[in-house]
Amino acid sequence: MASGLLATIRNRHFHSLLGNLVTAFFNVLSFALLVRTLSLPDFGEWVLFIASYGIMDQIRTGLLQSGIIKFYAGVEEETGRKVTGAAWYISLTVTLGYLLLSFIVFFAAYPFLNDAWHLFIGWIGILAVLSLPWNFASWILQAQHRFDKIVQIRLVQNGSFLLLLGALYLLHRISLPYALYAYCISMALTSIYCLFYKWTKIHSLYFRTREHAVELYRYGRLIVGSMVSSSLISYSDNLVIRTMMNPAAVAIYSIPQKFMEVIEIILRSFVATAQPTISAAANKNDFKAVASAFCRYTGTVSILIIPFIAGLLLLTQPLILILADKAYLGATDVVRIFLFSAILFPLDRFIGVTLDMINLPGINFYKNFLKLLLNIVCDVLFVYFFADIRSVALSSFVNIIFAVAFGYYYLKKHLDVRIKDIWIYGWQECIILLNKVINRRPIVK
């Protein structure tokens, strides 16, 4: 059993999971510290700012991450240098564009922004520059399946931010500006760490070619729309709540999003390892293997998250009190609505990944874009008629049902997949994983 456990700890699936656990653990602690020290309105503004930066980061990530994995993994060293150099050229162009845009918005919209957003807009472009080296290193390391090093990166970034917040707390200096400065410093430290260990491969910029840059851009732009549309769903929720209700309601609504991190840890970990597996099968035109991988990953994650959903449903209020305080108990029903809808998260996510990998990113984009539109319309209508954040959660439940139905319909046109196969393959894979941990061979009938 010990040798089986050791083998499990050393594999890439575990390292991917560990990286997400590290991120979630430190994020929860940072979240709990900020939620207890900032006022409800200030914390609501912080949540909206982090979401705004997240959208910018998703655009850059969507444009390059999948392309790097597709064109870098498994190629000759010379080709790899050209791909990496082209990716650096695109990422620098996008990041400098962010920096310029942030200054333009700062001066153009200054009269219409409050003090908090004067600060945020002035720094958001700089934040994009500071985070680029470590983000790029993570993409390269993922393509190399070096999830152990990604764990180190996330530990440095999230750990340093928490330590800085802790120091500010002890000095009684936590405020929106200081929280932002601490966040920027943590990004800079992490980038310096990656540059020191030469994980960024920034020297490859010299080997860039126009051919590879165009290839990366053409592939990446198909992914960006889908990824950004998906990310804007949560952002649109916060924006509608802040506009039609108040910033304090945004702070309340952020609580269930933290609960969802438990589900996202498992989901992101499996998606990170599933993407190259599905892509490899698709590149060989082995669509039977693609369907098998889709069913296996979707079923496994769906089964694994059920105990977590059940536990979170039973302990919702105590966990809210641990995470925040009594002022946030109004989020209880919202959390429970999200948890009930979370059972569909793996099916929605892996449908999207599979559509991208079989060269149908356009369908995945339409799925996520229509999901976003439906979410915004439902948010506005539900809040207008009910003026309650629970109605926003119900809106999210409606759009995930739509997205799964839409995506599954089109996936069935190209792959031989069935809902019952998802559960069958999922149970089989869970048994295999359990046998690996206890060092037993799976029973073959």
d(CA 63, CA 61): 5
pLDDT at residue number 6: 47
Q: What is the mean pLDDT of the chain?
A: 83
pLDDT at residue number 17: 66
Residues 224-271: pLDDT tens digits? 777 777 777 877 888 888 888 877 787 788 787 777 877 887 888 788
Mean pLDDT to the nearest integer, 48-52: 82
Mean pLDDT to the nearest integer, 299-307: 89
When mean pLDDT is compared over 17-21, 187-191, 271-275, the highest value belongs to 187-191
pLDDT at residue number 109: 76
> Does the pLDDT of residue 189 top 90, yes or no?
yes
Instruction: Tell me which residue of 129, 126, 131, 130 sits closest to 106, measured CA to CA.
Output: 126
> Does the pLDDT of residue 105 top 50, yes or no?
yes
Mean pLDDT to the nearest integer, 170-190: 91
> Does the pLDDT of residue 397 top 50, yes or no?
yes
Q: Where are the alpha helices (DSSP H) in 315-418?
A: 316-323, 332-341, 345-357, 361-386, 389-414
pLDDT band at 117 (very low <50, low <70, confident <90, very high): confident
> Does the pLDDT of residue 417 top 70, yes or no?
yes
d(CA 15, CA 315): 28
Dihedral of CA 14/154/277/371: which sign?
positive
pLDDT at residue number 276: 72
pLDDT band at 4 (very low <50, low <70, confident <90, very high): very low
Burial 386-400 (b: 16+ CB within 10 A, else e): eebbbbbbbbbebbb
> Does the pLDDT of residue 14 top 70, yes or no?
no
DSSP structure string for 220-284? HHHHHHHHHHHHHHHHHHHHHHHHHT-HHHHHHHHHHHHHHHHHHHHHHHHHHHHHHHHHHHHHT
Low-confidence winner among 145-149, 198-202, 302-306, 412-416 (lowest mean pLDDT): 145-149
Give 387 or 187, the one with higher predicted confidence.
187
Identify the three-state secondary structure at position 314.
helix
DSSP, res 445: -
> Does the pLDDT of residue 163 top 90, yes or no?
yes
> Does the pLDDT of residue 15 top 80, yes or no?
no
pLDDT at residue number 18: 67
Q: Are 403 and 368 in contact (CB under 8 A)?
A: yes
Residues 367-382: pLDDT tens digits? 888 988 998 999 899 8
Mean pLDDT to the nearest integer, 407-435: 85
When mean pLDDT is compared over 68-77, 353-362, 429-438, the highest value belongs to 353-362
> Does the pLDDT of residue 184 top 90, yes or no?
yes
> Does the pLDDT of residue 36 top 70, yes or no?
yes
Low-confidence winner among 96-110, 356-370, 425-439 (lowest mean pLDDT): 425-439
pLDDT band at 88 (very low <50, low <70, confident <90, very high): very high
Q: Are 209 and 71 in contact (CB under 8 A)?
A: no
pLDDT at residue number 440: 53
